[in-house]
């Protein structure tokens, strides 16, 4: 399988090049040159298939002959080393729980696969590789965990200072060794801009081999397709017949892009819903047809605080850059902090099921938009324990038990490196690493 930039079809590269370059020469993102459809045998077997077999079949066409079968099998076993259960929230509404990995968020899937793919594809003679990542919260922890102690790879994580939870900050700053955390005085978009500047800086790249582990890296997106197959298979087992509606809580729109790629491989899904928080660029786009990046608004679902989602161009390209085609399979809605809070309270009081703020946004929108003849699931992207502070304000009666599970307070004893949003400081840092 070759990969090409979405801006033009001129540049066509191998998986390895797409993984290590992160961004194409013109600054756009890579996409697989084609999305193959899986055959009918696969879909007949799918409801009974084991997760690792499913992952192998889904990913095989995308790695082609660059990764041999035995290595791909090992990678999927190491990536999907935790369960991905479907939990019934109410009649015809399920949560697909993606948060049982080591950092309790769905980003573990992409980070674990990408680190193993990079370590496998990295030429033995290569110079030290620097993985440079901006995070709005969860990416950093997943990347830090997924790459910790991987030989020959240094990881630099930029996060917006004071805008992520203590738990997230702990996950990013505690590994140490080859994991370098930097608190940026600014927003997630500032962090992302600095990372993009580094990638576009030819002088820097002559001296340092930098690559990305953000959701702009296609190597993170590919394994995320797998759990949509797993979710649809689980619905087929418990409630066969109707293809489910899938609602995805979205920030940078990587997770939804993976879902739509799975659909293009033939996965039976009725339609998709994107749930955003107050950062509503995509819902506005779907209603007006005009894409206007906005500055980031801080919400209680902070991993989705993104004002200019970088994967949206990929999603749009999958639908031939045609707004009508996009509207046929996707609707979107913006969910306020108030509605997120009410949903967490209501679902807990009615069913005993605790949602994190991101999953709650998707749950609210799915329930609101599901027709009488429809059924569906939302993806639960983080464990509620990661957002104990939010839950504490909403459900004081459960906060104590979450805090106990949460372990000791995360008083960060180590001093954390901070940096202004200036690219030149980052550049100096990378040159000295
Ligand atoms: C990153 C994240 C999202 C948003 O995912 P995208 O792929 O960026 O759209 C949603 N929920 C949680 C918990 C996240 O960490």
Phi/psi for 404 (5° steps) reads -65, -45
Is the beta carbon of 310 within 6 A of some atom in ligand 1? Answer: no
pLDDT of residue 403: 58
Which residue's CA lies nearest to atom 15 of ligand 1?
A: 138
Q: Mean pLDDT of all residues in the chain?
A: 91
b/e per residue 335-363 (b: at least 16 CB within 10 A): bebebbbebbeebbeeeebbbbbbbbbbb
Counting ligand 1 atoms within 8 A of each CB, the residue from 133, 227, 335, 381 with the most, and so the one to mutate, is 381
pLDDT of residue 72: 97
Residue 363 to residue 339: CA distance in whole angstroms: 10
Which residue's CA lies nearest to atom 14 of ligand 1?
A: 303
pLDDT of 405 over the 70 cut: no
Give the highest mean pLDDT range of 14-23, 340-349, 393-402, 410-419. 340-349
- What is the 251 CA–ligand 1 centroid distance (Å)? 5
Q: What percent of the chain has pLDDT over 70?
A: 95
- What is the 358 CA–ligand 1 centroid distance (Å)? 8
Residue 137 Cα: closest atom of ligand 1: 15
pLDDT of 11 over the 70 cut: yes
| pLDDT (average), residues 18-28 | 82
Residue 250 Cα: closest atom of ligand 1: 9
Is the beta carbon of 168 within 6 A of some atom in ligand 1? Answer: no
pLDDT of residue 408: 42
Give residue-wise pLDDT tens across range 295-334.
989 999 988 999 999 899 999 999 999 999 999 999 999 9
Residue 121 to residue 217: CA distance in whole angstroms: 15
For 24, the 3-state DSSP assignment is coil
Residue 379 to residue 256: CA distance in whole angstroms: 10
Residue 257 Cα: closest atom of ligand 1: 7
CB 12 within 8 A of CB 4: yes
Is the beta carbon of 378 within 6 A of some atom in ligand 1? Answer: no
| pLDDT (average), residues 154-180 | 91
pLDDT of residue 414: 64
Phi/psi for 76 (5° steps) reads -70, -35
Is the beta carbon of 250 within 6 A of some atom in ligand 1? Answer: yes
Residue 102 to residue 60: CA distance in whole angstroms: 25
Residue 356 Cα: closest atom of ligand 1: 13
pLDDT of 59 over the 90 cut: yes
- What is the 342 CA–ligand 1 centroid distance (Å)? 20
- Which helix (H) or strand (E) covers residue 380, if one does? strand 376-380
Q: How many helices, marked H, and strands, marked E, lie in the chain? A: 20, 14
pLDDT classification of 249: cutoffs 50, 70, 90: very high
Is the beta carbon of 390 within 6 A of some atom in ligand 1? Answer: no
For 431, the 3-state DSSP assignment is helix
| pLDDT (average), residues 59-69 | 96
pLDDT of residue 407: 45
Which residue's CA lies nearest to atom 8 of ligand 1?
A: 252
CB 87 within 8 A of CB 369: no
What are the DSSP calls for 252-281, one per residue? Answer: SSHHHHHHHHHHHTT---SEEEEEE-S--H
- Which helix (H) or strand (E) covers residue 172, if one does? helix 166-173
Is the beta carbon of 255 within 6 A of some atom in ligand 1? Answer: yes
For 105, the 3-state DSSP assignment is strand
The distance between the two most distant Cα atoms of the chain, rounded to a whole number of Å, is 60
Torsion-angle region of 311 (φ positive above 0: left; ψ -120 to 50: alpha; else: beta):
alpha
Residue 251 Cα: closest atom of ligand 1: 9
pLDDT of residue 402: 64
- What is the 127 CA–ligand 1 centroid distance (Å)? 32
In this prediction the pTM is 0.89
CB 234 within 8 A of CB 86: yes
- Which DSSP category does 182 fall into? E
Give residue-wise pLDDT tens across range 193-206.
999 899 889 999 88
List beta partners, residue 417.
182
List beta partners, residue 202.
none
Distances (CA, A) of 217 to 75, 225, 311: 17, 14, 10
Is the beta carbon of 381 within 6 A of some atom in ligand 1? Answer: yes
Q: Within a 10 A sphere around the Cβ of 24, how many other Cβ atoms?
A: 21
Pairing mode of beta strands 93-97, 86-90: antiparallel
- What is the 381 CA–ligand 1 centroid distance (Å)? 7
pLDDT of residue 412: 54
Residue 3 to residue 19: CA distance in whole angstroms: 10
Pure H helices in 46-154: 51-63, 69-79, 107-121, 138-147
CB 62 within 8 A of CB 35: no
Is the beta carbon of 280 within 6 A of some atom in ligand 1? Answer: no
CB 310 within 8 A of CB 195: no
Q: What percent of the chain has pLDDT over 90?
A: 74
What are the DSSP calls for 34-46, one per residue? Answer: --PPPPHHHHHHG
pLDDT of 217 over the 50 cut: yes
Is the beta carbon of 143 within 6 A of some atom in ligand 1? Answer: no
Tell which residue, 66, 206, 193, has the closest CA to residue 132.
Answer: 193
- What is the 259 CA–ligand 1 centroid distance (Å)? 13
List beta partners, residue 12.
4
Which tokens in the block code for residue 253?
Answer: 């729109």
Which tokens in the block code for residue 40?
Answer: 């009918």
pLDDT of residue 367: 98
pLDDT of 409 over the 70 cut: no
- What is the 323 CA–ligand 1 centroid distance (Å)? 23
Residue 62 to residue 60: CA distance in whole angstroms: 5
Which tokens in the block code for residue 219?
Answer: 């190597």
Exposure of 218 by Cβ count < 10 A (0-12 exposed, 13-18 middle, 19+ buried)? buried
Is the beta carbon of 172 within 6 A of some atom in ligand 1? Answer: no
């Amino acid at each position: 399988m070759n990969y090409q930039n979405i801006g033009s079809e001129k540049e066509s590269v191998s998986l390895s090049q797409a993984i290590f370059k992160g961004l194409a020469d013109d600054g756009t993102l890579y996409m697989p040159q084609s999305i193959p459809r899986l055959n009918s045998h696969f879909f007949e077997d799918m409801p009974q298939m084991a997760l690792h077999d499913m992952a192998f079949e889904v990913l095989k066409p995308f790695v082609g002959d660059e990764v041999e079968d035995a290595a791909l099998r090992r990678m999927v076993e190491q990536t999907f080393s935790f369960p991905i259960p479907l939990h019934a929230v109410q009649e015809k509404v399920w949560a697909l729980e993606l948060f049982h990995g080591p950092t309790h968020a769905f980003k573990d899937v992409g980070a674990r696969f990408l680190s193993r793919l990079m370590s496998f594809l990295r030429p033995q003679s290569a110079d030290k590789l620097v993985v440079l990542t901006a995070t709005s919260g969860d990416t950093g922890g997943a990347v830090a965990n997924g790459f910790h102690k991987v030989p020959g790879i240094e990881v630099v994580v930029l996060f917006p200072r004071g805008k992520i939870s203590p738990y997230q900050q702990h996950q990013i700053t505690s590994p140490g060794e080859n994991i370098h955390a930097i608190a940026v005085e600014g927003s997630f978009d500032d962090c992302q801009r600095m990372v993009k500047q580094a990638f576009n800086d030819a002088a820097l790249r002559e001296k340092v081999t930098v690559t990305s582990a953000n959701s702009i890296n296609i190597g993170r997106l590919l394994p995320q397709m797998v759990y949509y197959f797993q979710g649809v298979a689980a619905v087929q087992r418990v409630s066969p017949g109707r293809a489910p509606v899938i609602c995805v809580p979205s920030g940078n729109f990587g997770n939804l892009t993976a879902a739509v790629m799975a659909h293009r491989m033939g996965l039976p899904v009725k339609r998709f819903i994107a749930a955003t928080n107050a950062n509503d660029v995509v819902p506005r786009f779907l209603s007006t047809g005009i894409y206007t990046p906005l500055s980031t608004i801080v919400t209680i679902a902070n991993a989705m605080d993104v004002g200019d989602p970088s994967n949206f161009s990929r999603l749009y390209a999958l639908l031939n850059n045609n707004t009508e085609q996009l509207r046929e399979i996707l609707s979107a809605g913006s969910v306020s902090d108030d509605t997120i809070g009410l949903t967490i309270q209501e679902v807990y009081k009615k069913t005993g099921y605790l949602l994190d703020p991101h999953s709650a946004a998707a749950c609210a929108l799915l329930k609101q938009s599901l027709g009488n003849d429809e059924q569906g699931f939302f993806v639960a992207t983080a464990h509620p324990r990661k957002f104990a502070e939010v839950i504490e304000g909403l459900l004081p009666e459960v906060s104590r038990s979450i805090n106990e599970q949460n372990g000791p307070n995360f008083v960060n004893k180590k001093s954390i490196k901070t940096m202004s949003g200036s690219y030149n400081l980052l550049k100096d840092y990378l040159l000295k690493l």
